[in-house]
Amino acid sequence: MAELFIKQAGHYAEGRPSYPPELFEFIASKTPSQDLAWDVGTGSGQAARSLAGIYKNVIATDTSPKQLSFAPRLPNIRYQQTPPTMSIAELESNVAPESSVDVVTIAQALHWFDLPNFYQQVKWVLKKPHGVIAPWCYTMPEVNHSVDSVFQPFYNTAVETYWEPARKLMFDKYRSIHFPFEPVDGVDHTGPFQFVNEKLMDLDHYFSYIRSLSACQTAREKGVELLSDDVIEEFKRAWTEDGQDQKVVKFPIYLRIGRVGNM
């Protein structure tokens, strides 16, 4: 799937939301120390930037150099292109030594991963027993009744045709994803825990979000433009109905979180 995001890296960087401070505060409250965070599938660095305000150092990895080129440069973030799969030797060289990472975060990407292989890497790099893994996903954006009434059938029919099977894990809010970790201190389950991100968007930014969807890229490669002129006009009518150029777009976020234990 990485090639899809390479081709639409600009749309992804512009259209995708950042994440609320409450999400990172909750995650950090479950890590006894804040020395090193590993943000996997960092894309254009939306999560890495927030982690850098809490953790002393962040290693942010992605398979796409083009995605990484859009990421913010901060002194305590090290960006690293990595192959889709890594040996333990490559993991130590590219990411971190064994039992040295406080938290592994995965924003809107875990459903694409080879989970058995990835979880082995996570268990190797996390500090024992309190190192934390924290993946999250977000679901359909919410604007207002007029815009949502256009988006929902568009999303559920036109877009649905081109989704990869892995997306079903995200639609299920990660409830059914394999997650072999222990509950963190203070809770009796691994989630999902719900948060909400809000992003101020105009219509062009909203279209950038839609064009950043992997299904839109897949459709485009098959010669189908999901945002056809008719669909764009329908969105425009709904967007301009209230006379406001910019709108607050809400993205419901669902977090799974667990600690590695003594695995």
pTM over 0.85: yes
pLDDT tens column, 250-259: 999 999 999 9
Going by the DSSP 8-state scheme, the letter that residue 106 receives in this structure is E
Residues 82, 62: contact at Cβ < 8 Å? yes
Number of H helices, E strands in the chain: 12, 8
pLDDT tens column, 40-88: 999 999 999 999 999 999 999 999 999 999 999 999 999 999 998 899 9
Tell me which amino acid residue 110 is. L
Query: What burial class does residue 115 get, using C-beta atoms within 10 Å of its C-beta: 0-12 exposed, 13-18 middle, 19+ buried?
Result: middle
- CA–CA dist 61, 81 (Å, integer): 6
Q: Tally Cβ neighbours within 10 Å of residue 124.
A: 19
CATH numbers and ranges of domains, the chain: 2-259 (3.40.50.150)
Question: In this predicted structure, which of 136-140, 161-165, 174-178 has the lowest mean pLDDT?
Answer: 161-165
pLDDT tens column, 218-231: 899 999 999 999 99
Within 13 Å, how many C-alpha atoms sit on residue 13's CB side?
17
Query: What burial class does residue 230 get, using C-beta atoms within 10 Å of its C-beta: 0-12 exposed, 13-18 middle, 19+ buried?
Result: exposed
What is the model's pLDDT at position 73? 95
